[in-house]
């Protein structure tokens, strides 16, 4: 009899634990769905607002689906020839700039991952100082000007060649993810340091390469502040700067029209239409600027997650 009661108690405890696990799973699923909604909805709203009628988007009628489906905002944005010039410039800056960043970051990270490197800690300390302290905007501008890089494509490619944070993540990856026994076997075969880097480290570092490429590419693609400082020629402007100028020009033209007195009814309606259109153009520009990276991300997601997790481990 006592054994039967004991078995019944065990069954009851197991049933209670199962209900607790199920309750936690339900709560976790609801929480994650809520978090996903809060994260994805702004992007979704940006897309549907850009395809909606300007007046509907500006007056808050767009919530879950496009209202009065139209491509007018995109037509107005792409009517500027400079948009295509900016797109081409940004692609060039992103590809060449990211390549330059990787050429500097990966060999430096591999070298600093070697514990037998003389002065390794001192070199890393120098890098860390630059992470927290900079020369300032004006001295940096004067330095770049002294090199003759103002209004050149090169300035947006080589400025900020190494991100110290990315360097640290890559260094930790090399030191914690690739076994030293592989390098020792290569030493026995008489391999040089460069051969070990090219034939062992690089083939085994695809995850961290994907992370570095994505980090640097996003930085170059979204960079407009450096262009604002160092570029004044229209044919060299990146996409983000062009989109900013389009929006400002449209807003300035609208403000100028509204400041004029004795406007006719037709002109008032046209000004109102332009005001609404400027609203949807903002969303169209956000989507235009973000779409290439959103398309590229799924292709590197697997390596990206793995590289971040491994590179984030403490050495």
| Average confidence (pLDDT) over 178-191 | 83
For residue 2, what pLDDT band results from cuts at 50, 70 and 90? Answer: very low
**What is the CATH architecture of 76-240+283-311?**
Orthogonal Bundle (1.10)
Residue 104: CA atoms inside 13 Å, Cβ hemisphere, count?
17
DSSP-derived letter for residue 212 is H
Tens-place pLDDT, residues 235-285: 888 888 887 777 776 665 556 555 655 656 666 566 666 666 777 777 787
Neighbouring residues of 16: CB distance < 8 A, sequence distance ≥ 6: none
| Average confidence (pLDDT) over 32-40 | 84
Do residues 184 and 195 make contact, with C-beta atoms less than 8 angstroms apart? no
- Taking Cα atoms as reference points, which of 225, 257, 109 lies closest to residue 176? 109
Predicted TM-score (pTM) above 0.85: no
Is the pLDDT at 103 greater than 90, yes or no? yes
Is the pLDDT at 5 greater than 50, yes or no? no
pLDDT averaged over every residue in the chain: 79
Separation CA 159–CA 156 (nearest Å): 6
Is the pLDDT at 99 greater than 70, yes or no? yes
Q: Count other C-beta atoms under 10 Å from residue 141's C-beta.
A: 14
5, 90, 97, 122, 239 from 221: Cα distances, Å: 68, 6, 10, 33, 8
Separation CA 265–CA 128 (nearest Å): 62
pLDDT top residue among 224 and 100 = 100
CB-based burial, 89-114: b 16+ in 10 Å, e otherwise = bbebbbebbbebbbeebbebbbebbe
pLDDT given for residue 15 in this prediction: 66
Query: How large is the C-alpha radius of gyration of the chain?
Result: 28
Most confident of 55-64, 162-171, 268-277, 282-291: 162-171
- In degrees to the nearest 10, what's the CA dihedral of 242, 243, 248, 250? 110
- Please state the φ and ψ torsions of residue 174, each to the nearest 5 degrees: -65, -40
Tens-place pLDDT, residues 119-152: 888 888 888 888 888 778 888 889 899 988 898 9
Separation CA 68–CA 162 (nearest Å): 47
Report percent pLDDT > 70 for the chain. 79
Could you tell me the sign of the dihedral formed by the alpha carbons of 216, 222, 228, 233, in that order? Answer: positive
Separation CA 181–CA 89 (nearest Å): 45
Is the pLDDT at 201 greater than 90, yes or no? no
């Amino acid at each position: 009899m006592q054994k039967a009661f004991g078995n019944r108690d065990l069954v009851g405890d197991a049933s209670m634990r199962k209900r607790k696990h199920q309750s936690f799973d339900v709560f976790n699923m609801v929480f994650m769905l809520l978090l996903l909604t809060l994260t994805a909805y702004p992007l979704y709203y940006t897309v549907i607002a850009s395809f909606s009628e300007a007046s509907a988007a500006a007056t808050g009628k767009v919530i879950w689906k496009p209202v009065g489906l139209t491509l007018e905002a995109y037509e107005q944005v792409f009517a500027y020839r400079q948009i295509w010039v900016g797109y081409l410039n940004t692609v060039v800056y992103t590809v060449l700039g990211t390549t330059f960043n990787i050429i500097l970051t990966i060999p430096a990270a591999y070298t600093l991952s070697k514990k037998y490197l003389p002065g390794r800690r001192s070199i890393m300390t120098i890098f860390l100082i630059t992470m927290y302290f900079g020369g300032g905007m004006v001295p940096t501008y004067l330095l770049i000007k002294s090199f003759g890089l103002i209004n050149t494509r090169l300035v947006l490619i080589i400025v900020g060649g190494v991100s110290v944070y990315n360097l640290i993540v890559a260094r930790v990856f090399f030191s914690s993810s690739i076994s030293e026994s592989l390098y020792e076997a290569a030493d026995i075969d008489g391999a040089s340091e460069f051969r070990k880097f090219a034939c062992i480290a690089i083939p085994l570092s695809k995850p961290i390469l994907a992370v570095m490429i994505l980090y640097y590419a996003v930085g170059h693609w979204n960079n407009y502040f450096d262009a604002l400082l160092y570029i004044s020629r229209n044919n060299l402007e990146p996409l983000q700067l062009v989109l900013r100028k389009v929006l400002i020009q449209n807003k300035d033209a609208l403000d100028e029209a509204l400041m004029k007195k004795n406007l006719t009814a037709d002109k008032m309606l046209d000004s109102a239409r332009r005001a609404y259109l400027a609203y949807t153009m903002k969303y169209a520009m956000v989507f235009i600027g973000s779409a290439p990276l959103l398309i590229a991300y799924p292709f590197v997601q697997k390596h990206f997650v793995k590289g971040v997790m491994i590179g984030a481990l403490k050495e």
